[in-house]
Copies of this chain bind each other. A is one copy, B any other.
């Protein structure tokens, strides 16, 4: 048992691991909650890219929003070539995006989000196959919020979200659940099923101070972990997101 607690998955986010006793406890789901522009997609991609290149752990990127090529695209600025990793069978870009594109992906959900045939079961089938194929240990869901558009009633949405999170946990994937927060409040309540299946919750805050913007990462919850409680500034560097636990946000 104790062993498990020590079994940590490195985040690949500079500065973060030291805030959470070395990494994420392995095999669970963690919510990354942030408003638009806070860098959720970068956070998720970095978790997978570093996982593969630095720690030899393959990963799945489940995209429910934009098509893989636009994500791959955006990540080029950090020199992360996701397609190349996919070709080397280290990364699987699972495309459940509503957007159909020319680029043929290996793992495409026939009926993407917004299509009424879309189903979590269909998605999970492809995910399971992709996992087996490349032996993935890590996973990113981008984003849970997107699911809300698929379901007419909130209850149904919560049930389906629960099914997804449940299945990923049972596959023992260490998963980041990217979740869009409104700017006003990053209120975990809103995520229905997520908040209580997530073993941890990380917030990416954006504070506006006069003309400029201050970014701060907060580890709000991390089960079985003595975590750093303070807000820590983070920034976008050429090699992705970096957190500065030593520094202060407000002085």
Contact = CB atoms under 8 A, between A and B. Distances in A.
A146 B196 contact: yes
Interface in A175-205: 180, 182-185, 187-189, 192-193, 195-197, 199, 201
B187 A187 contact: no
Contact of A99 (B169, B184, B210, B250): B169
A65 B208 contact: no
B66 A199 contact: yes
A163 interface: yes
B73 A4 contact: yes
Contact of A182 (B98, B146, B188): B188
Contacts of A74: 5, 25, 199, 223-225
Interface string A224-243: 11100111100010000000
Interface stretch (A9-17, A129-137, A152-160): A152-160
A99 B28 CA distance: 11
Nearest to A224: B74
A193 B236 contact: no
Contacts of A28: 70
Given A74-B223, A114-B193, A212-B230, 6 more contacts: A77-B226, A99-B197, A101-B170, A114-B163, A182-B189, A211-B231
Give 3 closest A-B pairs by Cβ, nearest first: A74-B224, A37-B221, A213-B229
Interface of A: 1-2, 4-5, 25, 28, 35-37, 41, 65-66, 69-70, 72-77, 81, 83, 98-101, 114, 143, 145-146, 149, 151-153, 155, 158-159, 162-163, 166, 169-170, 180, 182-185, 187-189, 192-193, 195-197, 199, 201, 208, 210-213, 219-226, 229-232, 236, 248-250
